[in-house]
A and B are shown apart, each in its own frame.
Chain A
Amino acid sequence: MSPAVYLFTLWVKFSSMSSVLGLLFLAIGVPIILSSVAVDGKTADLLVNLVNGPTLAMAISYTFMQDNIANTRQMNDGEYLSLLFARPLTRSQYIVSKWLAGSTGVFIIMMLNILTFNTAQTLQGRNTVVDLNFWSMSDLILNALSYSALMVVIRSFPMRLGIAVFIILVYASLIGPALSFSMSSYEGAIPAVYMIFQALVFISNFLHHFVFPGIDLFEVLNTTRFSVLPLVTYVSNILMYLLLGTVLLSRREFSYGEE
């Protein structure tokens, strides 16, 4: 890991007013809006799932890795990264630094997000939905690490492919559960429409289980029959993403000149 790249990645996000405002919107604006529309317990649960779920975390992580792993044309990344990789920095160190920086960013913003959501709920006389304790903090950190690992891979793709994959994942994490939640309302609808909805939910669930390596630490450690499988799945998924990111970056050549 390179401390320089780690600090730079966090720092670059706070270098411009627009970037800071965007992060503040995600950290404070979004939970305030969500809290104001969470009129009953069921909606609040859905919104909490949304806030705690991968969508927001992915969006935050995605923005933290915006200026680098370099598939952005406006940065003339080949020229930009050529100077960086002329320094004593391996591609794997670069990927790991980006991953940790993205995870840190996600953790901070998500924590602010939950605090704001809870505060807003309390002010409106409702029960807080997520308690910030050791277990929820651990989950936040572990989720931040896994979503950022996924974003490292997406950011290593060519730009258009990366955006397409990102949109599909957002669909899987956001639209799918929302559709699933409201499926009961469509049971009386035209069978074809209902089938389409079912198919969409299936695809969403499939993607969700396949790509989001989440873990519930409390359940893993407090269950009567300890199972190592969730931990192995979680760790291997992260390692696979980081390895894939490193391989994709290592395969890239940096041509910086006219030739």
Chain B
Amino acid sequence: MSEKTTCIKIENLVKTYGRGRTRALDGISLEIGNGEVFGLIGPNGAGKTTLMGCLLSLLRPTSGDIHIFGYTPDNLRVKELSAFLPERPNFDAWMTARQFMSYHHMLAKLPHKTSKQDVEEALRQVELDPSAWDRRIKKFSRGMLQRLGLAQMLLGDPKLCFLDEPGSGMDPIGANLLRKLLLNWKKKNVTVVLNSHHLDEVERVCDRVAFIKGGRIHQIEELSNISKEEITIIVKCSPELEMPDDVLCSDIAATLEGHYFGITEHCLRFRLKHEKDKASLVKALVEKQVAVEEVFQERRGLEDLFIALHNEDLRR
């Protein structure tokens, strides 16, 4: 974490279910700075949603501590300063969008006299068609529900936002809008915790990401580091000749302190720490009789990191 003051501090957080049989969170420690956009990534069942639940005080940790703005997560001051978008927008279907927003405006303890103005401003910001404002929520599409969910987050100018899979069900325009809102929050120094499977979305907006698996943080990466140094090399092999086996490729990658991700459609995928290792990789492959046809270089992305960490874990 940078020099920013701490917004969220998690210490050795454990959450178990079934009298300790399942450890959903297994000793998570983490600090998130004020104004930081922090991503949680990991496979299904990794514990991301459980972590989010603990941060929102919807789940009680078995042990460990969480402090948000210096308070415990169930403190009303924390809730006044934060906003949340759940994974599945299960709202009061009988209400109209405007009524739903007014209800949340009231729940957020915002001044009644600004209610109409605040509600309309938030609905405008998420670009929900005004003709839908007085329509019952049950007639909304998934994308519209997501927009409404985002709109209720905007009420009261939160200082901390929790978003759980905000991009699911959104069309490209909606996804673009979400990105705009996230970047706007970033500009306003709002702290954001983003749980998403859309790695490209995470990559575009997050400052740091934590890779969570099996209830543990396996790695925390600064996104700026990911894109600058490491590179991904794709080696296309001749389809007529026999493909090299995974062990050979993994060994070659290991000698260069890199990673081998596997083969797809006659293409071998490697990650290297330094660009200068690219020639050595190709040379080693040719020496081992691999029928190299073409070599491409890709910027190392979050997806590669995700796959690499996941594969590393599988190998263990």
Contacts and interface: CB of A to CB of B under 8 A. Distances in A.
**A and B interact physically:** yes
B169 interface: no
B107 A258 contact: no
Interface string A68-102: 00000001100110111111111000000000000
B108 A87 contact: yes
Interface string B16-51: 000000001000000000000000000011011110
Given A86-B84, A88-B108, A12 B58 contact: no
Given A79-B86, A82-B86, A86-B58, A254 B53 contact: yes
Given A86-B84, A89-B79, A256 B58 contact: yes
Interface stretch (B87-95, B243-251, B286-294): B87-95
A84 B107 contact: yes
B261 to A, nearest CB: 26
A196 B214 CA distance: 59
B60 interface: yes
Interface string B57-86: 111100000000000000010011011101
B164 interface: yes
A256 B104 contact: no
Contacts of A7: 106
A106 B84 CA distance: 34
Given A4-B103, A80-B90, A87-B108, A255 B80 contact: no
How large, as a class, is the contact surface on chain A? 20 to 34
B4 interface: no
B58 A85 contact: yes
Interface in A1-45: 2-5, 7-8, 12, 15-16
A76 B87 CA distance: 13
Contact of B94 (A2, A12, A253, A258): A12
A75 B162 CA distance: 22
B49 A15 contact: no
Contacts of B60: 253
A87 B53 contact: no
A255 B107 contact: no
A3 B23 CA distance: 39
Contacts, number: 95
A257 B58 contact: no
A92 to B, nearest CB: 12
Nearest to B195: A257
A88 B58 contact: no
Interface residues of B, number: 37
Contacts of B152: 83
B196 to A, nearest CB: 12
B49 A259 contact: yes
A57 B245 CA distance: 76
B44 A258 contact: yes
Contact of A256 (B44, B49, B109): B49
A253 B108 contact: no
B84 A257 contact: no
A254 B58 contact: yes
Contact of B87 (A3, A254, A257): A257
A8 B91 CA distance: 13
A91 to B, nearest CB: 9
Nearest to A75: B90
B58 A253 contact: yes
B56 interface: yes
B59 A253 contact: yes
Interface string B96-120: 0000000110111100000000000
B45 A259 contact: yes
A175 B282 CA distance: 88
Interface in A230-259: 253-259
B76 A90 contact: yes
Contacts of B109: 88
Nearest to A90: B76
A4 B76 contact: no
A171 B268 CA distance: 73
B37 to A, nearest CB: 19
Given A255-B58, A256-B87, A4 B107 contact: yes
Contacts of A82: 53, 56, 58, 84, 86
Contact of A255 (B59, B95, B103): B59
Contact of A87 (B59, B79, B88): B79
A257 B164 contact: yes
Given A87-B104, A259-B50, A254 B82 contact: no
A71 to B, nearest CB: 16
B115 to A, nearest CB: 11
Contacts of A80: 90-92
Given A253-B58, A259-B24, A83 B84 contact: yes
Contacts of A85: 56-58
Nearest to B106: A4
Given A88-B79, A255-B58, 4 more contacts: A8-B103, A257-B164, A258-B87, A259-B48
Interface of A: 2-5, 7-8, 12, 15-16, 75-76, 79-80, 82-90, 253-259
Question: 7 tightest A-B contacts by CB?
Answer: A257-B49, A4-B106, A86-B84, A254-B58, A88-B79, A79-B90, A87-B107
9 contacts: A4-B106, A86-B162, A254-B53, A255-B50, A255-B58, A256-B49, A256-B53, A257-B86, A259-B49
